[in-house]
Amino acid sequence: MKDVPSLAQAVTRRRFVQTAAASAIMLAEAGGARRARAEDKFIYASTGGSWGDGVKSSFVAKTDFEKRFKVTAAHAAQVESVAASKIIASCGTPTYTVSTHGQAEAVLLADAGCIQPYNLAQVPNLKDIPRELTLEQKGAPYYGAYVFLMWALTWNTKLAKKPASYKDLWSKEYKGKIAIPAYGWYGVYWLHAVNKVFGGSEENVAPGMGALAELVQKNDAIIMENVDHGMKLFQRE
């Protein structure tokens, strides 16, 4: 961890994310080393496209992973929710060596008993990842985030004015020109954000569900499947 800055020095948001990402990369290497030596192929599951390219670049190519651990790294490209379903279905007979997920899916996998906790002796840098970006079960940590997910409205400056809030998406002015994340992608997290805007809570998501149903049915919102789909929608205006 000599190359990773101390969190005491992480005073900016950019530095905060860089620290978390750098820590998680080394965490992944340490946590995966034992499994890699015992397998002919190291299979990692994540979304494909530009995001998958980023995962491969950060965790495999730039770390020289295959050469260091003498194993072939294979990318199983699919939406994370699909990978989570396969992991639960094959629980006890692992389909992947490692997989990437948001917190909600990670909790489901842990509750199903289908993932292993980190071996702290092999992952000494876990302490360098902010506690808010980790998960544990019965005192055993099993999840460390490598990105910090933040939601924000994005708009085409040629075709729309700067929105004042999420509620602007329900404006008739933008009918048929709105894209929202697919539920099987990161829509579940976005649902909770919208739910809070409309007065809901973690225990009551009815306000958010009702608002999203109206957004799709009455304002013709398009379902955005992933990052690459979103970029294409902007390119096509």
**What pLDDT digit, counting tens, does each position of 222-233 carry?**
999 888 898 899
Beta-carbon contacts of residue 2 (< 8 Å; ≥ 6 apart): none
- What pLDDT does 39 receive? 58
**What pLDDT digit, counting tens, does each position of 77-122 carry?**
988 889 999 999 999 888 899 999 888 889 999 999 998 999 989 8
**What pLDDT digit, counting tens, does each position of 180-235 carry?**
999 878 888 889 989 999 999 989 999 999 999 999 999 999 999 888 898 899 88
Question: Mean pLDDT throughout 36-45?
Answer: 72
Closest CA to 138 of 110, 119, 101, 112: 110
Taken in order of first residue, the domains within the chain and their CATH numbers are: 7-144 (3.40.190.10), 166-235 (no CATH)
Closest CA to 142 of 175, 121, 120: 120
